[in-house]
Amino acid sequence: MNTKPTVAAIIVAAGRGVRAGGEVPKQWQQIAGKTVVEHTLDLFVGHPRVSEIILVIAAADRDWITSLNLDAHATIAIGGEDRATSVLNGLMKTQADRVLIHDAARCCCPIEVITRVLDTLDNSEGAAPALPATDALWTGAEGVVTGVQDRTGLFAAQTPQGFHRTAILDAHHANTLPVADDVEVARRAGLDVAIVQGDARNMKITTPADFARAAKLLETPMDIRTGNGFDVHRFGDGDHVMLCGVKVPHARGLQGHSDADVGMHTVTDAIYGALCRGDIGQHFPPSDPQWKGAESHIFLSHACTLARDMGFQITHVDCTLICEFPKIGPVAQAMRARMAEIMSLDIDRVSVKATTSERLGFTGRGEGIAALATVTLIKGATA
């Protein structure tokens, strides 16, 4: 049976970063509400294919681990006198099949860059992101241009640089010379390293001015989404209807595989729609007997939990029930309260109202009830 390779991210954070200025090394400086290291950890904690994280720090920085509780997310390794030794110490801490070696100072790396490196490792001994050189390149000395360098075939290297663990571990053990990065270590050992598309956002904090640029990149953009839902249930035998979580006495009931709460179903579908996650039938198939007669708050709660898990906050719900009877006005407030309770919203963010179809169509003939709903979801710093 084929199994997916395990992946460890090795975050190198043992340097001193003196060019960045500040009273502490750049990786421990605050930016956008967190230290640089914490932002970098978040990149890999949130990646579904990374199973382990190794954080390599300087021995002098142990107190940061305790104060930030970083060992809750990563195995800690102590770095060496140079970057290559620090990486080797990190490699010795894992048995993962593949490794991603990443500079802690690249805290803005897009997730898709990490994924591209991992995908390329399926068919390569190594993979690393880079951007082709596009500006004119000079050589210089003592502040004067001394020549022009052809930029053809030149790339600006980035991280994470990915490898099969045993191959890069052997390469590090064999290396005895100073190196700029792990690609250089790999090439000296005869490993082929594929170039994958990098990203301009994947900058490395090096100077004081870089902090402002990184802070801008780390700002959470606001993602506002609107979802619509529509549902219909016909009348059948019964002495009440369930509408928006409220039992309303009526001469007939609504037919459905669950409790046929047409209002709650419609709001649930609106949330799934805003999330682009299908509809209620995909999550709770009517062919599945376990949902026969189920209370619809189960479905709505699932949709709300999914929204939260995806980082969204539901900010407003508007549900319209379309029917000649029963009369909704006397119970609309109770419906709003019940929906607000299930969705963990303030009642002022939940609207339930009704209209008729002027005795036209199936609702006008009293054959059933229709409902439509709109929800608003927000993800971002202001949510």
CA angle centred on 223, ends 203 and 160, rounded to 5°: 25
Average pLDDT of the residues in 90-114: 97
Q: Is the pLDDT of residue 353 over 50?
A: yes
Q: Tell the residue number behind the tokens 């209209």, with chain if given.
A: 355
Query: What is the structure's pLDDT at 331?
Result: 96
Question: Which domains are present in the chain?
Answer: 7-218 (3.90.550.10), 223-379 (3.30.1330.50)
Task: Please give the distance of CA 151 from its chain centroid, rounded to a whole number.
Answer: 36
3-state secondary structure (DSSP) of residue 228: strand
15, with CB counted inside 10 A (0-12, 13-18, 19+), is buried
Q: Is the pLDDT of residue 220 over 80?
A: no
Band of the pLDDT at 383, cuts 50, 70, 90?
very low
- The amino acid at 37: V
Beta strands in the chain (DSSP E): 7-13, 30-31, 34-35, 52-57, 75-78, 98-103, 126-132, 137-141, 144-149, 155-157, 161-164, 193-197, 223-236, 240-243, 246-249, 253-254, 313-322, 350-355, 368-379
Q: Is the pLDDT of residue 1 over 60?
A: no
Q: Residue 139: which residues within 8 A CB-CB, separation 6 or more?
A: 145, 146, 147, 148, 149
The DSSP result for 347-375, as a single string, is GGGEEEEEE--TT-HHHHTTSEEEEEEEE
Q: Are 360 and 353 in contact (CB under 8 A)?
A: no
Q: HSE, CB side, 13 Å, CA atoms: give it for residue 90.
A: 31
CA distance 39 to 22: 18
Which two three-digit tokens encode residue 242?
Answer: 């369930």
Band of the pLDDT at 147, cuts 50, 70, 90?
very high
Reported pTM = 0.63
Query: What is the structure's pLDDT at 63?
Result: 95
Query: What is the structure's pLDDT at 180?
Result: 93
Residue-wise pLDDT for 27-37, tens only, equals: 999 998 899 99
Band of the pLDDT at 382, cuts 50, 70, 90?
very low
Residue-wise pLDDT for 317-327, tens only, equals: 999 999 999 99
Average pLDDT of the residues in 103-122: 96
Q: Is the pLDDT of residue 46 over 90?
A: no
Q: Is the pLDDT of residue 338 over 90?
A: yes
Query: What is the structure's pLDDT at 142?
Result: 95
Q: Is the pLDDT of residue 286 over 70?
A: yes
For 1-5, 62-66, 280-284, which range has the lowest pLDDT when averaged over its residues?
1-5
Band of the pLDDT at 311, cuts 50, 70, 90?
confident
Q: Is the pLDDT of residue 198 over 70?
A: yes
CA angle centred on 243, ends 374 and 315, rounded to 5°: 30
Query: What is the structure's pLDDT at 2?
Result: 59
Which two three-digit tokens encode residue 268?
Answer: 């649930």
Across the chain, mean pLDDT equals: 94
